[in-house]
Structure 1
Amino acid sequence: MTSTKTKKSKKPILIIVITIIVGLIVTSVVAFNDRKGETQSENEEEIHVVEASEPIVQDLNKVTSIIGQVETTDSRYVIPEMSGTVDKVYVSEGDTVTQGKLLFTIDDKEHQYQLQEAQASKRMAKAQLQEAEKGAREGEIAEAESTVNTAEQSKLQAKNEYERAKTLHEEGFVSDQELEQVEMQYKNAKEQLESAKAYLNTIEEGTREEQIDSLEAQVEQAEIGIRMIEDALDRTRVTAPVSGVIANLDINKDDLVGNTEPAIIINAESHQVTGTLSERYINSISEGDKAEVEIPSISNNHFEATISDIGSLPPEEGLSYPVEVLITEKGLDDQLRVGMYSRIRLTVDSSQDALTIPRHALVNDGNNHAVYLVNEDNEIEMKKVEIGISQDGYVEITDGLEKDEQVVVAGLDNVIPGEKVEVQEGDLN
């Protein structure tokens, strides 16, 4: 009985041992197969795949952006040409006006009085001229002749008185002072006779040419005075110097105005964008160059523009120079508003037929730029290059690269110089 029980107890133990041995064998086989697969994978990954392509020849432009704002191309201050008191205002802020429209008037009463006075002076001067041109009347000649006769009689009487006084002076009956007085009366009588004769001759001969010229000059002077006053009256009417919108109106009836700016008119039909450009690039642009303007607040917000002005002086304490660009696209007048935020893109450098590669194809070689090339043996080579301007992800290679060389454009991070690779054709476009 004992022998039978011992045989039965050993049988389960044998089964367990066999099971363990089989498990170990299976595990070893699986582990071996795994290691074999890993080794095969490592052998397969030893040759990396890269993409390579020849450089692209294309035109590149270096573009810089500056912040700007929309302004009108024609903003005019309304400045009265004379001072005075505002009589009446005919417009309001925000009104659209045409060139020449009456904005306000200045009190003109004083100038009206001056005009009336000047017109009266002209009438008087013309009357005198007409009288002189007609010549003397018969009555005037008779009166002049009578004056001459009277003067001759006065002279004769004065002469007789003088000779009598002279005789009495010699006899001592007339003093020196009395004789001088009689002599003076005689001289005055002779002068009055000569004057009367001269006046008679003038009347008989007619008005002299010099007198006519003088009277004509008086008429002309009066006419000039009238024109000057009329010009002053015109200046009391202040009109719009240009067509546009009244952006500011700081004036009311009875206000005193002078050489200030009571109103500003902007031209709503023409706009420009102004900004400031760093001194680094200011000599790289010229008036007439093309530009692009972006105005975020407007739909389809990229517009063609042209550089219209480049400032010669920077703002105070600044190192940038003012730049104005004129928006050349039409049909934007109802969308553009003065003061709108904008961005101006300016071309500050360009290269024609440049040899280019994607910028991500560059690798660093210390402080230098380099590229990975694939040689005829499908091995990686590193080559130093010089770069130029960049645009839209492409960079210009100015030295160190030939047109027909194969540049690695993908898979750069997985390879090193001297490594053999599998090459796929890359697409630089």
Structure 2
Amino acid sequence: MSEADAAPAGRKAPLILAAGVAVLALIALGLWLAWRPAPDQLQGIVDARELRVASKVTARLAQIHVEEGQQVTAGQLLATLDSPEVAAKEAQVNAVVDAAEAQASKAEAGARATEIAAAEAQWKRAAAAADLARVTFERVNRLAEEGVVPGQKRDEARTNMIAASEAARAARAQYDTALEGARREDKRAAEAQANQARGVAAEVAIAAAETKVFAPASGEVGRRLAQPGELVGAGFPIMYVTEAATPWVTLIVREDQLGGMAMGREYSGTIPALKGAQARFRVTFMVPAGDYATWRATRQSSGFDIKGFEVRLAPVKPVKGLRPGMSVLFDWPQ
């Protein structure tokens, strides 16, 4: 071989060696990618708090003020109920309160001026009669001592004097009672009855307020379970309100996948319904104990049973379009 032919062959050898090394590297990379442990993919479901909107009284649904799917704010009027029974009870208890308060005011105010004047007149008349009976007895007593009148007349005069004196004392007691008014115990009893009536009125007022149903929180109106004109029982849900603005993702994680998981740790998730959008989620809840309803056996004859743990992850930032029921996929490291 000539020197001219040997030179090209010497230059081709390194190129062939480099190509061989590259092929071996590609083969090694392919084998590593093929045999490396692939991360588990967990599928979670977006969830949100769902509130049942109900009333504490049994009544007929008169009107619904919102539509399904409408956004509402906390305290917004959702529905109005009609309860003639509550209205009748309210009128009845108001009358009871008026009567009880009148009795309490009467006991506190005491006797009227005319009643006090009449009692005073009765006492003065009885006192005058007692004075007359005393003078009469003294006169008859002297005559009896002189033997002018029999002793029986003196006894009758003494009896009349005693009776008139007692009548005067009784009239004075009536007059003093009118001046003092009702006893302290009577006043307390009358005020207690008035307070009891006010308590019943407050209870009826609360029942009347329950005929208007307000949104317990801000959210989105879900399904309506009753229609206007229907009779709804106490505690029966009229509609649902979902707090769609604060969703979370619920995962069931096997116990052999919990390694490294902790409250506050963040993971990246893919949302297929949003064209594969990526979002970051933070662990906000981990169930304290595994659920027996989510276990599976690792082997039929030996090994241990793997249980599932509920984990909730909340979006680190609000995700536009994320709604309850959507799926979120997580590549979970082994």
- TM bin, normalised by shorter chain, reads 0.5 to 0.7
Per the alignment, residue 252 of structure 1 pairs with 227
Contact 2:294 2:308 in 1 (8 A): no
Post-superposition Cα deviations, 1:50-104, rounded to whole Å, max 9, x if no partner, equal 87xxxxxxxxxx96431112222x3222232233322222222212211111222
Taking structure 2 as the reference length, the TM-score comes to 0.64
Is 1:306 matched up with 2:294?
Answer: no
Match of 2:63, SS?
strand
Per the alignment, residue 54 of structure 1 pairs with none
Per the alignment, residue 288 of structure 1 pairs with 264
Per the alignment, residue 336 of structure 1 pairs with 322
Per the alignment, residue 88 of structure 2 pairs with 113
Is 1:92 matched up with 2:78?
Answer: no
Matches within 5 A, 1:21-420: 64-72=40-48, 74-141=49-116, 199-253=174-228, 254-282=230-258, 284-299=260-275, 301-311=277-287, 312-314=289-291, 316-318=293-295, 319-330=307-318, 332-333=319-320, 335-346=321-332
Post-superposition Cα deviations, 1:179-225, rounded to whole Å, max 9, x if no partner, equal xxxxxxxxxxxxx9999876554224322222222222222222222
Distance 1:283 1:82 in 2: 50
Contact 1:96 1:246 in 2 (8 A): yes
Distance 1:315 1:75 in 2: 25
Question: Amino acid of the residue matched to residue 316 of structure 1?
Answer: A
Question: Amino acid of the residue matched to residue 341 of structure 1?
Answer: S
Match of 1:91, SS?
coil
Distance 1:82 1:282 in 2: 47
Match of 1:86, SS?
strand
User: How far has the Cα of 1:246 moved from its partner?
Assistant: 1.1
Distance 2:93 2:104 in 1: 17
Per the alignment, do residues 129 and 103 of structure 1 end up closer, same or farther by CA in structure 2, a change over 3 Å counting? same
Contact 1:86 1:257 in 2 (8 A): no
Question: Amino acid of the residue matched to residue 203 of structure 2?
Answer: M
Distance 1:233 1:295 in 2: 47
Contact 2:69 2:222 in 1 (8 A): yes
Distance 1:251 1:131 in 2: 50
Q: Which runs of 5+ in 1 are unaligned?
A: 1-36, 52-61, 154-191, 349-429
User: How far has the Cα of 1:251 moved from its partner?
Assistant: 0.7
Q: Point out the more displaced range, 194-203 or 223-232.
A: 194-203
Q: Point out the more displaced range, 274-283 or 245-254.
A: 274-283
Q: Which runs of 5+ in 2 are unaligned?
A: 1-8, 26-37, 130-166, 296-306
Per the alignment, do residues 81 and 344 of structure 1 end up closer, same or farther by CA in structure 2, a change over 3 Å counting? farther
Per the alignment, do residues 255 and 125 of structure 1 end up closer, same or farther by CA in structure 2, a change over 3 Å counting? closer
Question: Amino acid of the residue matched to residue 329 of structure 1?
Answer: K
Per the alignment, do residues 138 and 79 of structure 1 end up closer, same or farther by CA in structure 2, a change over 3 Å counting? closer
Match of 1:280, SS?
helix
Per the alignment, do residues 268 and 204 of structure 1 end up closer, same or farther by CA in structure 2, a change over 3 Å counting? closer
Post-superposition Cα deviations, 1:77-135, rounded to whole Å, max 9, x if no partner, equal 22322333222222222122111112222223222222222222222223223333333
Post-superposition Cα deviations, 1:338-395, rounded to whole Å, max 9, x if no partner, equal 21222123456xxxxxxxxxxxxxxxxxxxxxxxxxxxxxxxxxxxxxxxxxxxxxxx
Per the alignment, do residues 132 and 80 of structure 1 end up closer, same or farther by CA in structure 2, a change over 3 Å counting? closer
Distance 2:257 2:115 in 1: 91
Larger CA Rg, structure 1 vs 2: 1
Distance 2:111 2:43 in 1: 85
Contact 2:58 2:231 in 1 (8 A): no
Question: Amino acid of the residue matched to residue 338 of structure 1?
Answer: P
More strand by share: 1
Per the alignment, do residues 222 and 288 of structure 1 end up closer, same or farther by CA in structure 2, a change over 3 Å counting? same
User: How far has the Cα of 1:276 moved from its partner?
Assistant: 0.9
Superposed CA RMSD:
3.5
Question: Amino acid of the residue matched to residue 219 of structure 2?
Answer: G
More helix by share: 2
Match of 2:182, SS?
coil
Distance 1:340 1:127 in 2: 64
Contact 1:94 1:246 in 2 (8 A): yes
Match of 2:273, SS?
coil
User: How far has the Cα of 1:241 moved from its partner?
Assistant: 0.9
Distance 1:193 1:284 in 2: 100
User: How far has the Cα of 1:287 moved from its partner?
Assistant: 1.7
Per the alignment, do residues 297 and 135 of structure 1 end up closer, same or farther by CA in structure 2, a change over 3 Å counting? closer
Per the alignment, do residues 258 and 216 of structure 1 end up closer, same or farther by CA in structure 2, a change over 3 Å counting? closer
